[in-house]
Structure 1
């Protein structure tokens, strides 16, 4: 075989050959970046986050979205059908349903975000303590088990029966009902992390318990806690609507989706729009939060993450 020359100064010895370069079968795939890349990689986060931002916009800028006073009474204009004067119609007292629905978004979002925040903080503290201390675990978890044996809505109703109806008391009642579930989740994560080699090494080296908790345990609980907080937010909004619907939540003078539907249930068969519009807004908001939670779970968990 004749010698084949390579780059200058390199000669192939006789009897040897160089394989011809092969063509690439698969073309190079470039990861998509920017908004469309994020939308393709995490569509549920994009859709859920977009819907939630839309609801936040409606709640914050409700006075500037062609609304009226949601508590203004106009008996002469009661139960008007949706039209140019009343976009979502009027209720049995002549109040503008459109304005009441937009202002009602403030109550639902405030309750949802507040309950998610406070329940996460309290549940995180309880879960860290009970998961890392066997003595505290045997006492605290029995209390949490007792609270979890009661359905959250019944526990919230019982707590609201001891107080007067207000947004603050609704947040407090739902938070107490949701804390056991967060503490259970955090406790389970802590119990698994406590047996990891790096934690055992920290204990063996004489690291103090508070340092181990805040440096090694706490950062690894934030990801599942964030996902759980989104589902608590959605559950809190539904619970608030139920409490207001049965008259145990926010007072009637404060427009919320729950009491708007409660006031329209007597006219459901003849004036269904009074219940329909707040129910649609509540469903879209809860769907947005749940989609956001599902997307965060897929993005945080490497086993569920979508590969490009």
Structure 2
């Protein structure tokens, strides 16, 4: 062995074990727990609505006067109402109407509000006219505007969706318009205008992609608000016909006996609260995930 060669120390044992690599799913769960929690609850409710005929339910409109106002039991899990109808079956089937109204209104109001907000934000001479109309509609509470629109039509799920959509469009339009006003002053937009890029191309390439994130978050809140509004309309008799099982109709039919038969209102109220909570949790998580400043902090 060469005496001039430097001595090499023996490798030290691993005192701290190497950190195990986490998968992308686990990292997402850890960073955005509210999205995961809300998504799980919403998925379970959606599956219950889609699989309603196979979840030990019966006909939600079947009358059985001899079995009316039965308390919760092994035979009737949520009890029966004043006409002997199974409340459990009516709550499960009622999820179909609430989810349909919530998702439909969120999509339609987002599309309508996006179109109005883009035109108002980019076309200066139309901004004043359009926004005055939007301000006038926003001065009326959405529930009152929906009631007024429903008074002009007959009660149906389709008309409820249309009425709530018209009432919610101004909220999306004002949000999109505010985003567009800030984006059109950005240097890259001004450079595109200077180079002669046409307005539709500017909107498609530069404006529209930057409005999708805040509009997506707003759509979740509109979905939750639409479900509450639908329940209110049904509760006061201005929404879906009483023959259709909805959470609002179930609570409306049980309000006369709520002091002695509270379970008639309790279970649909819990279902509505859980659904709205799940949608709001998803919205809060998306807001944190899509906000660059929040992403840096995390």
1:305 offset after TM fit, Å? 2.2
Matched residue, 1:121:
111
Is structure 2 residue 141 aligned with structure 1 residue 151?
Answer: yes
Structure 1 residue 84 corresponds to structure 2 residue 74: yes
Match of residue 128 from structure 2: 138
Partner of 2:250: 260
Match of 2:194 among 175, 195, 204: 204
Q: Distance in 1 between matches of 2:92 and 2:25?
A: 29
- Residue 48 (structure 1) aligned with residue 22 (structure 2): no
CA shift, 1:27, in A, is 9.7
Q: Give the conservation status (yes or no) of the 8 Å contact 1:80–1:90.
A: yes
1:224-303 superposed matches below 5 A: 224-303=214-293
CA offsets per residue over residues 175-218 of structure 1, 9 Å max, x none? Answer: 00000000000000000000000000000000000110111100
Q: Which has the larger radius of gyration?
A: 1
Q: Post-superposition shift, 1:33?
A: 2.2
CA–CA separation in structure 2 for the residues paired with 1:132 and 1:106: 39
Tell me: CA distance 1:191–1:89, structure 2 relative to 1, closer, same or farther (3 Å). same
Corresponding position of 2:181: 191
Provide closer, same or farther for how the CA distance between residues 30 and 204 of structure 1 changes in structure 2, counting only shifts above 3 A: farther
For residues 82 and 99 of structure 2, the distance between their equivalents in structure 1, rounded to whole angstroms, comes to 26
* Structure 1 counterpart SS, 2:22: coil
Alignment of 1:23-38 (within 5 A): 32-38=22-28
Give the Cα–Cα distance (whole angstroms) in 1 for the partners of residues 263 and 218 of structure 2: 34
Change (3 A) 1:29 1:191: farther
How far is 1:84 from its partner? 1.1
Structure 1 residue matching 2:295: 3-state secondary structure: coil
* Contiguous gaps of at least 5 residues in structure 1: 7-25
1:89 alignment partner, SS class:
coil
What do the CA deviations read for 1:223-275 (whole angstroms, capped 9, x no partner)? 00000000000000000000000000100111000010000000000100000
Alignment match, 1:68: 58
State the alpha-carbon separation in 2 of the partners of residues 307 and 28 from structure 1: 26
Residue 112 of structure 1 pairs with residue 112 of structure 2:
no
Q: How does 1:95-110 map to 2 (within 5 A)?
A: 95-110=85-100
CA distance in 2, matches of 1:114, 1:221: 20
What TM-score results when the alignment is normalised by the length of structure 2? 0.93
Q: Classify the secondary structure of the residue corresponding to 2:99.
A: helix
CA shift, 1:304, in A, is: 1.4
Q: Distance in 1 between matches of 2:173 and 2:18?
A: 47
SS in structure 1 of the partner of residue 169 of structure 2: helix
Q: Secondary structure at the match of 2:77?
A: coil
Residues 31, 176 of structure 1: CA spacing in aligned structure 2 closer, same or farther, 3 A cutoff? farther
Unaligned runs of 5+ residues in structure 2 are: 7-15
Q: In the aligned structure 1, how far is the partner of 2:35 from the partner of 2:154?
A: 38
The alignment status of 1:175 with 2:158, answered yes or no, reads: no
Q: Distance in 2 between matches of 1:30 and 1:56?
A: 35
> What SS does the aligned partner of 2:292 have?
coil
Aligned residues: 287
Runs of 4+ in structure 1 deviating by more than 2 angstroms, as ranges, are 26-37, 305-308
Cα shift readout 1:26-85 (whole Å, capped 9, x = no counterpart)? 998777324332211110000001111011001000000000000000000000000011
